[in-house]
A and B are shown apart, each in its own frame.
Chain A
Amino acid sequence: MSVMEKEPILEVNHLKQYFPLKKESLFSPKQTVKAVDDISFKLYPGETLSIVGESGCGKSTTGRSILRLDEPTEGEVLFNGASMTSLSKKELREMRGDIQVIFQDPYASLNPRQTIRKMLQEAMTIQNVMPKKQMEARMLELMSLVGLRPEYLERYPHEFSGGQRQRIGIARALCVNPKVIICDEAVSALDVSIQAQIINLLKRMQRDLDLTFLFISHDLSVVRHISDRVIVMYLGSIVEIADKDSLFDRPSHPYTRALLSAIPSTDEQQKKTRIILKGDVPSPINPPTGCRFHTRCPFATDLCKTDVPELRALTPTHKVACHYAETLLSSPPV
């Protein structure tokens, strides 16, 4: 793949994010939630890299740690080769102009007492994007870019529908000319017909403005549609990372396979090959030993209970953390 030859725009090395728990009593042992436990990946300019997984797998925490909305426990994040984990507050603010984020519920992230104009102006002033005089023209340009009428600038967030609010969220992210946008479940709260409009908009923005997306989602159909490469996470670690076609056509980790087969589909063929996992996701406070998936994995052996599988390359663009990936791949889909 040609993108791989470029220098990564964002590099995550051995990122760990632990959250200490409150002690139940003075003498109880100290406990931590290992939300993200040693993950590394690279994001290349112009691509869309998705992180998928179920709730509690650490996908959103990863996004937050990159932005340093939570201080990472360990590891480093490099943006254009420079470390972000050691930036001062001032440098951090500048960096946040380059990396923007769009959240799931735009209503929760828009100030209800600010008009859209005020909101965009404030963001551009803080990041010092352009002189005040040029802002007006830029705001009108942004509004038409995301498909909103110019008079909407004078309105407040509550006057908009969910889809329109997400468009505002996108406009606000774009107004500071970012290079990378982290989309955290950006289309999950929307109805399908509106979701399709926003996905098309995001794809068009990427093409026209040369943006790089880190797309965090639980919805594999959306991920298939929007991504170039996909990371699958389970209980705080990466179980599989591959380019899109390779992942969807040859899922190599048993968890990825189960996840893919669990998606309700309108396709008759898909229904016959369902893998139903037993039980719930184990607690990240006390994750299972060895391979974290072994408690739910239909193929687990004694080796899986003791040895942690390394993330290793099957092909140059396809990495998987499973002891038996090759055997599974050669066997027909379950």
Chain B
Amino acid sequence: MEPEVVLQVKNLKTYFTTSKGTAKAVDGVDFTLHKGETLGIVGESGCGKSMTSLSLLRLIPSPPGKIVDGEILLNNKDIVTMKEDELRKVRGNQISMIFQEPMTSLNPIIPVGEQIAETVRLHQRLSRKAAWQKAVDLLELVGLPSPEKRAKQEPFQLSGGMRQRVMIAMALACTPEVLIADEPTTALDVTIQAQILELMKDLQKQIGMSIIFITHDLGVVSEVCDQVAVMYAGQVVEHRSARDLFNSPLHPYTQGLLASLPKIHENQEELQTIEGAVPSPYDYPAGCRFADRCQHARAICRAEAPVLEAVGGTESKVRCFMYTEKWETAAEEEEVLCP
């Protein structure tokens, strides 16, 4: 039985207009998030993963940024066309976000318990006292030791890991359906990261929410995600179950990315690299955006842009001509062209 779809993103385009021209930060992103599922969005810096996540709640600084096309359907209601007051009910209530550096999202001079209570009172009709109690309960839920004492402390009195727990508590205050986590463990040490990832997995089981996990760390993705969308140059190039992705990556970019990771369990002489650099978002090539760095590229890759489509009757989607019928005909044509 297919679980119900919570969030569906169709052909999302977020462009930035600057003096240098139009930067296509997000350029036709599609993905689907099911109930109770964790979807990882991975990619290297500048691929548009953070801009995608900000677009989901219309948090793009505007101007210069603008969602120029596409739909973001949350339970079949489109966030892109929503009015501001409706949107305010969605933010924090149905969709919450946590960020990489909790210190920049917390108010430095207000006790953390009060900040959580404020969020609670913004969305629910509760007395101050009840909201405070709820804040303490939430801090206990996220495993902060002696929550009553900690709730009265200011952010600087807490360690990095504790602050991230506070952010998670705040995000969960209204039991959202979707939690967007943008690099939530990147600034933390590995042993603390392991604690936070474990906590997020536990809470997801208890609350039954869906998580969108944005990260550049493929190891983290494989730890926590069910589904993965790999982004490159503003587009999703591969969207599959995490298990399939790590066992047999399809897109040449994903293959290159996995191969360039140093392995902890074996000794390697030389690491594999992906030659070249990402194309500029101001001027994407007409064909496949990875073609210039791809060792399999044929004439068709530079002439036509591939689309994200399912591979041979499976759930796996990939944006590459290698898995389409065109590939073989392209090969024959190439032989005719350069015998």
Contact = CB atoms under 8 A, between A and B. Distances in A.
Interface of A: 54-55, 161-162, 191-197, 199-200, 203, 218, 220-222, 224-225, 244-245, 248, 258-267, 270-271, 274, 276-277, 279-281
A197 B264 contact: no
Contact of A193 (B193, B219, B256, B265): B256
A218 B190 contact: yes
B44 A248 contact: no
Contacts of A220: 190, 264
B246 interface: yes
A274 B194 contact: yes
Contact of A221 (B192, B193, B263): B263
A274 B219 CA distance: 14
A191 B30 CA distance: 24
A266 B247 CA distance: 9
Nearest to B274: A193
Given A194-B44, A220-B264, A267-B265, 9 more contacts: A191-B44, A192-B257, A193-B44, A193-B256, A196-B260, A218-B189, A244-B267, A245-B267, A265-B222
Contact of B264 (A192, A193, A200, A265): A265
Nearest to B275: A197
B265 to A, nearest CB: 6
A244 B260 CA distance: 20
A161 B277 CA distance: 10
Interface string B213-226: 00011111011000
Contact of A263 (B44, B45, B219): B219
Contact of B270 (A194, A195, A200): A200
B268 A266 contact: no
Interface string B159-181: 10110000000000000000000
Contacts of A225: 262-263, 267-268, 271
B273 interface: yes
B198 interface: yes
B233 to A, nearest CB: 13
A128 to B, nearest CB: 36
B78 to A, nearest CB: 33
Contact of A262 (B194, B263, B265, B271): B194
Contacts of A199: 262, 271
A55 B160 CA distance: 11
Interface in B247-280: 256-258, 260-265, 267-268, 270-274, 277
Nearest to A55: B189
A260 B264 contact: yes
A266 B220 CA distance: 8
A267 to B, nearest CB: 6
A252 B217 CA distance: 27
B273 A264 contact: no
B195 interface: yes
B222 A222 contact: no
B262 A222 contact: yes
Contacts of A267: 264-265
Contacts of B268: 225
Interface string B34-49: 0000000000110000
B191 interface: yes
B6 interface: no
Interface residues of B, number: 40
Contact of A192 (B162, B194, B261, B263): B261
B271 A200 contact: yes
B264 A224 contact: yes
Contact of B162 (A54, A193, A262, A280): A280
B151 to A, nearest CB: 18
Nearest to B261: A192
A276 B189 contact: no
Contact of A271 (B218, B223, B258): B223
Contacts of B270: 200, 203
A266 B258 contact: yes
Given A193-B44, A193-B260, A260-B264, A276 B190 contact: no
A281 to B, nearest CB: 8
A266 B44 contact: no
A276 B263 contact: no
A196 B162 contact: no
B190 to A, nearest CB: 4
B197 interface: yes
A200 B273 contact: yes
Given A271-B223, A280-B161, A264 B193 contact: yes
B257 A54 contact: no
Contacts of A260: 264
B159 A195 contact: no
A271 to B, nearest CB: 7
B191 A264 contact: no
A258 B246 CA distance: 24
A196 B189 CA distance: 21
Given A225-B262, A225-B268, A262 B193 contact: yes
Given A259-B191, A270-B265, A264 B260 contact: no
Most buried by A among B216, B257, B273, B274: B273
B192 A192 contact: no
Given A263-B190, A264-B222, A266-B222, A280 B159 contact: yes
Given A224-B264, A280-B159, A197 B190 contact: no
Contacts of B273: 193, 196-197, 200
Contacts of A192: 44, 216, 218, 257, 260-261
Contact of B195 (A197, A261, A277): A277
